[in-house]
Amino acid sequence: MDLAYPQGPATIIPNRLPYYDLPADKPLTEILPPAPLADGIVQTIASEDQAVQGYAFRLGSATFPHLKLRAQQMDHCGQATWVFMVDTHDAFSKDNPVPPPEHPDCPRWLALQNANRHLKERIEAAWAEHDLATVNSILREDLR
């Protein structure tokens, strides 16, 4: 959250503020709201058989309100591992992730995507430094 909101907690939308300083010793399920879909921030991620596999938190950033933190259980070396990732949620459309060059918002949209990608990289690198599993840290471990 410090990277997403560099001006500090005073700049965070009030309903997202409870997620600013989460206790590290609590299981993920204990920090979820009583009705995860009701607060508009937490969404469940379901597997093909509809079992809850993880959560997406629409926490946003100072420049883009739709950035999501995803915490998802994945199979890694035969065991379930919580993997953390940033979903930039900034594709132009489902079929066309970037706008066509002739679109009037193309330069601004590409700049937004670029800024979001850099923020994603910085956040995920910080998580890896704190020994949280990310897709990249798992890939690096597998390559070793």
Give the residue with greater pLDDT, 87 vs 43.
87
- Helix, strand or coil for residue 102? coil
Q: Is residue 4 part of a domain?
A: no
Q: Is residue 1 part of a domain?
A: no
In this prediction, residue 2 carries a pLDDT of: 94
Q: What are phi and psi of 141, to 5 degrees?
A: -65, -45
Q: Is residue 63 part of a domain?
A: yes
Compute the Cα dihedral for 106, 108, 113, 118 and give only its sign.
positive
Q: Is residue 2 part of a domain?
A: no
pLDDT in tens, 81-115: 899 999 999 988 888 888 889 999 999 999 999 99
Using an 8 Å Cβ cutoff, are 16 and 59 in contact?
A: yes
Domain count, the chain: 1
Residue 88 vs residues 31, 50, 98: alpha-carbon distances, Å: 22, 24, 13
Q: Is residue 76 part of a domain?
A: yes
* CB contact set of 68 (below 8 Å; sequence gap of 6+): 56, 57, 58, 59, 86, 87, 89
Q: Is residue 30 part of a domain?
A: yes
Q: Report the length, in residues, of the chain.
A: 144
Confidence tier at 33 by pLDDT (50, 70, 90): low
Range of the domain at 139: 9-143
Residue 37 pLDDT exceeds 60: no
Q: Is residue 136 part of a domain?
A: yes
Rounded to two decimals, the pTM is 0.85
Residue 47 pLDDT exceeds 70: yes
Residue 8 pLDDT exceeds 80: yes
Q: Is residue 42 part of a domain?
A: yes
